[in-house]
Amino acid sequence: MKKRVICLLLFIIIFYLFNFETAFANTSEKSSWFRIDRLNILILLILFSTVILLYIRSAKKGKEFFIRKISGLEAVEEGVGRATEMGRSVLFIPGIHELDEIQTIAGLSILSKVAKITAQYNTPLLVPVRYPLVLAAAQESIRGAYLDMGKGEDYDPEMARYVAGEQFAFVAAVYGVMRRDRPATNVSMGAFYAESLLLAEEGHESGAIQIAGTANPEQLPFFIAACDYTLMGEELYAASSYLSKEPLMLGSLKGQDWMKVLLVICILLGVLFETLQIGGGFFYKLFIEH
């Protein structure tokens, strides 16, 4: 009850701050409250959310789900173990994008799991970041992981450090870390651009075992060529659920899979109907914003 009141109060304060009466001043334009041209997206969103929520509900009831093995994630523990044996550090790069990018958040979720393993083995962890907000989030993520493992006293805020705001200055700084500290394991998870190959090749040169993941399809070939393991697209987003093994998180993954099946069916039907010129372009209209 207390939480709901807090939420409601917060909502009212935010709306007041943003002068929401301007919204009500335009109620004469009845159609402007809802964009009918985005109805198809709304239907898909409701369907998607429903499927995911249903799977989360069945996960809550104790149903177990099969999730296929992702070798890149299985290798994380192996990589940290290698670093521990060699007495070297683990380098984690949560991408080069700001915190408003979902890939960065996915990267930070993986960082939390990696930090738990490094805390367990007392392995040094280095996390260079490009944005101060990501720095704050990374520090919190690592701190939480160390506290969870009962190693709060081993946590050092300097494990995550802001190195540079410019893209290639950031690359130069990470090169320095790879050359001087020679981490035994490099984990790069998040949004990467032109620097992906620069970082991966330098990591390969330094002899580190490399695990990378991004949802940017243009950068995937570089990671595949230069890294030992690569998480492709959706695997990056699934990583935190996979590593946590929490039924609620795994339930959402299963829901996502069913949506994929539905989309594949729609695409196949669309191809068939459009090729045969039947259905009045229904499937074509379904996937475009009018």
Partner 1 sequence: MKTQLPIAIAFLSGFIMILAFFSANPGMVNFSQNLLTWVTIVGGISLLLGIVSILKVNLRVISERGKDWGFKLILVLFVLGMSICGIIWGTKENTPFDWLFQNIQSPMMSTMFSILAFFVASAAYRAFRARTKEATILLITSVIIMLGRIPLGQYLWDKLPDYADWIMAYPNLAVQRGIIIGAALGAAAMSLRIILGIERTYMG
- The closest alpha carbon to 175, from 263, 278, 93, belongs to 93
Going by the DSSP 8-state scheme, the letter that residue 38 receives in this structure is G
Stretch that binds partner 1, among 16-24, 62-70, 74-82, 117-125 (CB under 8 A): 16-24
Phi, psi dihedral angles at 24 (to 5 degrees): -75, -25
Residue 275 burial by Cβ neighbours in a 10 Å radius (0-12, 13-18, 19+): exposed
- Per-residue binding letters, 215-234, with partner 1 (x by CB under 8 A): x-x--xxx-xxx-----xxx
What end-to-end distance do the CA atoms of the chain give, in Å?
42
* Size of residue set near partner 1 by CB under 8 A: 98
DSSP 3-state of 92: strand
We find the least distance from the C-beta atom of residue 157 to partner 1, in angstroms, to be 9
CA atoms of 8 and 138, how far apart (whole Å): 29
Going by the DSSP 8-state scheme, the letter that residue 59 receives in this structure is H
| Residue found by looking up tokens 């090169």 in the block | 175
| Residue found by looking up tokens 């080069």 in the block | 96
28 part of the interface to partner 1, by CB under 8 A = no
We find the least distance from the C-beta atom of residue 270 to partner 1, in angstroms, to be 13
| Residue choice 92, 192, 229, 237 for contact with partner 1 (CB under 8 A) | 237
We find the least distance from the C-beta atom of residue 6 to partner 1, in angstroms, to be 6
Phi, psi dihedral angles at 127 (to 5 degrees): -130, 90
Closer CB to partner 1, 188 or 241, in the complex = 241
- Per-residue binding letters, 140-179, with partner 1 (x by CB under 8 A): xxxxxx------------x--xxx-xxxxx-xx---x---
Closer CB to partner 1, 120 or 244, in the complex = 244
| Residue choice 119, 137, 187, 191 for contact with partner 1 (CB under 8 A) | 137
We find the least distance from the C-beta atom of residue 90 to partner 1, in angstroms, to be 17
- Restricted to residues 61-120, the positions that interact with partner 1 (CB under 8 A) are 98-100, 102-103, 105-106, 108-109, 112-113
- The closest alpha carbon to 193, from 172, 210, 165, 168, belongs to 168
268 part of the interface to partner 1, by CB under 8 A = no
What residues form DSSP beta bridges with 127? 160
Stretch that binds partner 1, among 17-25, 62-70, 74-82, 182-190 (CB under 8 A): 17-25
